[in-house]
Each structure stands twice: as C-alpha cells, then as structure tokens.
C-alpha cells in the first residue's frame, strides 16, 4: 500500500498552501507585471490547478456546509489545464487580488473546523 496517498485533510491543506503561494507570488506585483511575466503567471496557474484538483477530493458533505460555489475552482482547473491558450490573464490577476484572500480564509476555516 502507498503511504504517500494524501488524506482529505491533506487535500484541504494543499488548497490553503496553494492559495498562500499564489498570494505571495503576486504580492506587490502589478497587473501588467503579472501579464508580462510568463514564469509568474504559469506558476500561479499551476497553483490554481492544484486547488481545483484538490477540491475534487474533499468530502462533499463538508464543502456543502459552507456557502461557496465549489464548482468554480474545479471548472477553472479544467479550463487552465485544457484551454490554456485562451486564458485571460487580467481576469486571473483580478481573481488573485479580489477573490483569493476570502477563499483562503474559507479554506482555513474548513481546516480548523473539520480536521
């Protein structure tokens, strides 16, 4: 048996860590810098893929206790992985700056209350 299989708690921790990384990567970065820095925007997109994949493995009964449209990060994961050529980096930046901090707070609440 593989001892490296992440638990459901590990998956929630992965989401929190990915959020933290994204926010650190984009701290003090302008939208234009984000768009022009291919390494940076690729790193951010990869972390969003981790978030979307990890959410698939979190107990739905737990997620359903919290008011959030959980299909959005899962859908964005698929979009980033499969439609990578059409990603609007301005929208990704806006998501990072406007939505991700509250999302991370919600994820950290889930961790604290359930694991």
DSSP 8-state class, residue 115: -
Burial class of residue 107 (count of CB atoms within 10 Å of its CB; 0-12, 13-18, 19+): buried
Catalytic residue (choose from 11, 21, 71, 77): 77
* Residue 71 falls in the annotated catalytic set: no
Contact residues for 75 (Cβ-Cβ < 8 A; gap 6+) = 52
Catalytic residue (choose from 57, 65, 71, 82): 82
* Residue 74 falls in the annotated catalytic set: no
Catalytically active residues are 77, 82
């Amino acid at each position: 048996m593989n001892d490296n299989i992440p638990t459901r708690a590990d998956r929630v921790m992965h989401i929190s860590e990915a959020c933290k990384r994204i926010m650190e990567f984009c701290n003090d970065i302008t939208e234009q810098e984000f768009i022009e820095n291919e390494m940076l925007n690729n790193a951010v997109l990869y972390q969003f893929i981790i978030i979307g994949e990890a959410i698939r493995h979190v107990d739905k009964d737990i997620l359903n206790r919290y008011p959030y449209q959980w299909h959005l990060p899962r859908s964005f994961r698929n979009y980033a992985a499969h439609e990578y050529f059409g990603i609007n980096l301005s929208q990704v930046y806006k998501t990072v700056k406007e939505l991700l901090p509250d999302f991370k707070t919600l994820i950290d609440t889930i961790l604290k209350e359930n694991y």
